[in-house]
């Protein structure tokens, strides 16, 4: 019994779709339309991937149940490259697919955790000497959640004391050569803060 190379099969499917979408485009309008169709296709494959993951199946890529993320990422890149070549704006469908394939999550954070952190900060502000167990009872969570919040680093750009910039933020901003990339018109506003 021969072993099936699912990567090669999925790659062929993605290449065939590319041939009839952005691969055949001769101008920006056709490229945009093809990239939009390809983005919708990628989003449907990503949804299929999520469903397979949520079902608890194991080795879903190796068994050929879904397209491997490496193939989806490579072809998403190829479509972006075609958009660049034809000077077409990538459609939102393609951008959403790339966003997921990159593994980003900052646009959709877990709201419950931020709400808990905000409630805990408010509780600590009202009652600074409250204990871990008492705070956990009052917020309705496990004591380990409160301990985790106590150990988590202070997030944010501003200091809670004086409202100025956080020292670590200033250090990182200097390391990244932030001022070299800020448009000149905005430098005055940023320097004032």
Extents of the domains making up the chain: 6-101, 111-192
Q: Is the pLDDT of residue 73 over 60?
A: yes
pLDDT per residue as tens digits for the range 28-43: 999 999 999 999 999 9
Q: Is the pLDDT of residue 188 over 60?
A: no
Task: Give the per-residue pLDDT at 164.
Answer: 65
Q: φ, ψ for residue 108 (rounded to 5)? A: -130, 65
Task: Give the per-residue pLDDT at 84.
Answer: 94
Cβ atoms < 10 Å from Cβ of 173: 15
| CA angle, 38 then 43 then 44, to 5° | 95
pLDDT per residue as tens digits for the range 118-155: 788 788 888 888 888 998 888 888 888 888 887 765 55
Which residues, including other chains, have CB under 8 Å from residue 131's CB and lie 6 or more apart? none
What is the CA 178 to chain-centroid distance, rounded?
A: 22
Give the mean pLDDT of 80-108: 87
Residue with token string 């955790």 = 113
Task: Give the per-residue pLDDT at 119.
Answer: 81
Q: What is the DSSP letter of 22?
A: G
Longest Cα separation, the chain = 71
| CA angle, 109 then 115 then 116, to 5° | 115
Which residues, including other chains, have CB under 8 Å from residue 73's CB and lie 6 or more apart? 101
Structure tokens at 12: 């062929």
Give the mean pLDDT of 71-100: 93
Structure tokens at 88: 């077409």
Task: Give the per-residue pLDDT at 42.
Answer: 92
Mean pLDDT in the chain? 80
pLDDT-based confidence at residue 193 (cuts at 50, 70, 90): very low
Q: What is the DSSP string of 116-177?
A: HHHHHHHHHHH-TT--HHHHHHHHTS-HHHHHHHHHSPPPSSB-TTTSSB-HHHHHHHHHTT
Judged by DSSP in three states, 86 sits in coil
- List beta partners, residue 158: 165
pTM for the structure as a whole: 0.58
Q: Is the pLDDT of residue 12 over 50?
A: yes
pLDDT-based confidence at residue 72 (cuts at 50, 70, 90): very high
pLDDT-based confidence at residue 87 (cuts at 50, 70, 90): very high
Between 116 and 8, residue with greater pLDDT: 8
- Of 66, 83, 74, nearest to 21 by C-alpha is 83
């Amino acid at each position: 019994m021969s072993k099936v190379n699912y990567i090669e099969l999925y790659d062929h499917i993605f290449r065939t779709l590319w041939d009839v979408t952005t691969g055949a485009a001769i101008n920006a309008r056709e490229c945009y339309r093809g990239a939009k169709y390809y983005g919708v296709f990628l989003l449907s494959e990503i949804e299929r991937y999520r469903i397979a993951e949520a079902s608890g199946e194991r080795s879903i890529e190796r068994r050929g149940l879904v397209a491997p993320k490496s193939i989806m990422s490579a072809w998403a890149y190829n479509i972006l490259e075609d958009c660049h070549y034809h000077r077409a704006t990538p459609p939102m469908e393609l951008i959403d697919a790339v966003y997921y394939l990159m593994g980003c999550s900052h646009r959709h954070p877990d709201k419950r955790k931020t709400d808990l952190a905000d409630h805990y900060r408010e509780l600590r502000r009202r009652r600074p000497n409250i204990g871990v167990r008492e705070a956990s009872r009052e917020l309705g969570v496990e004591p380990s959640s409160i301990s985790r919040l106590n150990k988590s680093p202070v997030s944010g750009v501003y200091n809670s004391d004086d409202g100025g910039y956080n020292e670590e933020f200033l250090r990182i901003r200097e390391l990244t050569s932030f001022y070299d990339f800020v448009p000149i018109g905005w430098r005055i506003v940023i320097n004032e803060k």
